[in-house]
């Protein structure tokens, strides 16, 4: 299917599905409005087989630090975690604010080879945003489609390492994993208004750079059990 109607931009929705599965992300373009982003999110959801998505505007005014690297919705269990999410740009920050994507497969393979004691590590994740929610994930997950891949969120008070490797303390564990993730940097996405960055949450880890000024993104989580704001017709 070829989708038209987003200015001069055209894309093949089959390519979008392949790109996001194989490469882990794809950037599309639309107008920088809630309505245009919702329309594109619906088309993409239809093509990728999603049943619904939830849309939230994430608006900020300056941030002096990184948003820590994470797998989206990691406080949900493996079967409920969003497979795909997208960020649509309403307003890009004047300075900084890039979203970085890291290849969780590359990080997992590197860790498994160089620090095999992390293979048994599990981390329990809770969330201030969703009190009561918690899920325990193996740090290195054997995904039926993608093989060894990282499920991860950097050190936070809502993380609990279930079994710290005896040879390393918790701080060293996080330092080691953070470094492996940074070494798997795949994309530094500098935003343009109207960008729609679709991300494979089963393979990619993401983070956000510090920034100055105002910045607004629409976050669409597909098949999110907590937000099914928009149902996608079949
Ligand atoms: O602002 C960004 O670039 C990413 C935001 C994000 O990761 C989130 O809200 O989960
Ligand atoms: Fe996120």
Residue-wise pLDDT for 46-79, tens only, equals: 999 999 999 999 999 999 999 999 999 999 999 9
208 close to ligand 1 (CB < 6 Angstrom): yes
Task: Kindly state if the Cβ of 58 falls inside 6 Å of ligand 1.
Answer: yes
pLDDT at 233: 78
Which phi and psi angles does 16 have, rounded to 5°? -60, -45
Tens of pLDDT along 90-138? Answer: 999 999 999 999 999 999 999 999 999 999 999 999 999 999 999 999 9
Residue 167 alpha carbon to ligand 2 centre in Å = 31
Q: Is 153 in the pocket of ligand 1 (CB under 6 A)?
A: no
CA of 166 to the centre of ligand 2 (A): 31
Name which residue leads in pLDDT, 67 or 228: 67
**How do residues 185-222 score in pLDDT, each as one tens digit?**
999 999 999 999 999 999 999 999 999 999 999 999 99
Residue 167 pLDDT = 85
Report residues near ion ligand 2: CB below 5 Å: 72
Report the distance separating Cα 180 and Cα 177, nearest Å.
5
Burial track 178-193 (b if 16+ CB lie within 10 A, e otherwise): bebbeebebbebebee
pLDDT in tens, 3-23: 555 554 567 888 898 999 999
pLDDT of 38 higher than 70: yes
The answer to whether the CB of 20 is under 6 A from ligand 1 is: no
Is the Cβ atom of 189 under 6 angstroms away from ligand 1?
no
DSSP, collapsed to helix, strand or coil, labels residue 94 as coil
Residue 13 is predicted with a pLDDT of 83
HEC-encoded secondary structure of 98-166? CEEEEEHHHHHHHHHHHCHHHHHCEEEEECCCCCCCEEEEECEEEECCCEEEECCECCCCCEEECCCCC
Q: Which ligand is nearest to the CA of 100?
A: 1
Position 7 scores a pLDDT of 52
Which atom of ligand 1 is found nearest the CA of 98? 3
Cβ of residue 201 lying under 6 Å from some atom of ligand 1: no
Is the CB of 99 inside a 6 Å radius of any atom of ligand 1? yes
| pLDDT surpassing 50 at residue 1 | no
Share of the chain above pLDDT 90, in %: 85
Of ligand 1's listed atoms, the one at least distance from the Cα of 60 is 1
Which one of the ligands is nearest to 87 CA?
1
On average, the pLDDT of the chain sits at 93
- Condensed to tens digits (0 to 9), the pLDDT of residues 138-182 reads 999 999 999 999 999 999 999 999 999 888 999 999 999 999 999
CB 28 within 8 Å of CB 43: no
Domains assigned to the chain:
16-69+81-96+188-223 (2.60.120.620), 104-183 (no CATH)
Q: Which of 63, 191, 206, 227 to mutate to test the pocket of ligand 1 (most atoms within 8 A of CB)?
A: 206
- Looking at residue 229, its pLDDT comes to 84
């Amino acid at each position: 299917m070829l989708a038209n109607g987003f200015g001069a931009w055209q894309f093949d929705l089959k390519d979008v599905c392949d790109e996001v599965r194989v490469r882990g992300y794809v950037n599309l373009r639309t107008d920088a409005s809630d309505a245009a982003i919702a329309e594109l999110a619906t088309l993409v959801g239809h093509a990728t087989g999603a049943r619904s998505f939830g849309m939230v505007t994430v608006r900020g005014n300056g941030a002096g630090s990184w948003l820590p690297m994470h797998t989206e919705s990691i406080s949900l269990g493996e079967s409920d975690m969003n497979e795909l999410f997208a960020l649509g740009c309403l307003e890009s920050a004047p300075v900084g604010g890039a979203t970085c994507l890291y290849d969780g497969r590359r990080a997992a393979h590197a860790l498994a080879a160089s620090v095999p004691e992390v293979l048994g590590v599990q981390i329990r994740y809770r969330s201030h945003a969703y009190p009561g929610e918690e899920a325990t994930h193996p740090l290195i997950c054997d995904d039926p489609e993608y093989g060894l891949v990282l499920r991860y969120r950097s050190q936070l008070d809502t993380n609990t390492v279930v079994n710290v490797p005896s040879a390393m303390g918790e701080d060293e564990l996080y330092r080691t994993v953070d470094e492996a993730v940074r070494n798997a940097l795949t994309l530094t996405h500098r935003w343009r208004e109207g960008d729609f960055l679709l991300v494979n949450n089963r393979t990619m880890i993401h983070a956000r750079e510090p920034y100055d000024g105002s910045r607004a993104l629409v976050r669409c989580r597909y098949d999110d059990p907590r937000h099914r704001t928009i149902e996608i017709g079949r």
